[in-house]
Amino acid sequence: MGKRRCPLAIPGSRARVLERAPIFRGPLANGLRFFFFLSVVAAAVFLSCQTSDKESGGGLTPPARSQGCKGLEDRLYRMMNASDPARFAQEQSIYYSRGLVRVAIELSGPDASLPTGYEIQVEARAGSSVQALIQLGELCRISSEPEVRSVMVPFEVKPKGKVTDG
């Protein structure tokens, strides 16, 4: 019998003819299997750590919440549940001082009034948008009021160049 040739060998070439080798047998294959197993375990551990970060308020998505805070932005909800709201506010660039947080309230219409019974320090109002300082603990209740569409962190406007009157 002649030599077994690889079916993909180019006829007439002077390259060595490789014989078929069992790929998934031997010590190399066992090493590959072990590496794959470790990769799966590492991925599972990594994902479980990511989930615990999210539950503690450090992730990108908030923990599940009740319908009572339906109009509240996720960052504000996570801030309410954070162990250190001041640190969370600083990390997220949210104004927070002495228990008051700066928010933008979107009302149901331009003629809608702010809900009563809350300490709301209005800083600015334009149509149905209100920028105000509110106690952190009242955000969820205010966001669930019928005349309030949403409560979110206001956009911060930073000029690029020199600001002049005119």
Report the chain (166 residues): mean pLDDT per 10 consecutive residues.
54 49 58 59 55 42 56 93 94 94 94 91 93 94 92 80 64
pLDDT at 69: 82
pLDDT at 16: 47
Residues 30 and 106 in one domain: no
Within-domain flag for 19: no
Distance (Å, whole) CA 136 – CA 97: 10
Structural domain includes residue 74:
yes
Provide DSSP, 61-93.
SPPP--GGGTTB-HHHHHHHH-S-HHHHHHHTT
Q: How far apart are the first and last CA of the chain?
A: 97
How many CB atoms neighbour CB 41 within 10 A? 10
- Residue 35 DSSP SS3: helix
Please check whether residues 80 and 49 belong to one and the same domain: no
| pLDDT score for 7 | 54
Same domain, 45 and 72: no
Rounded CA separation 128/151 (Å): 12
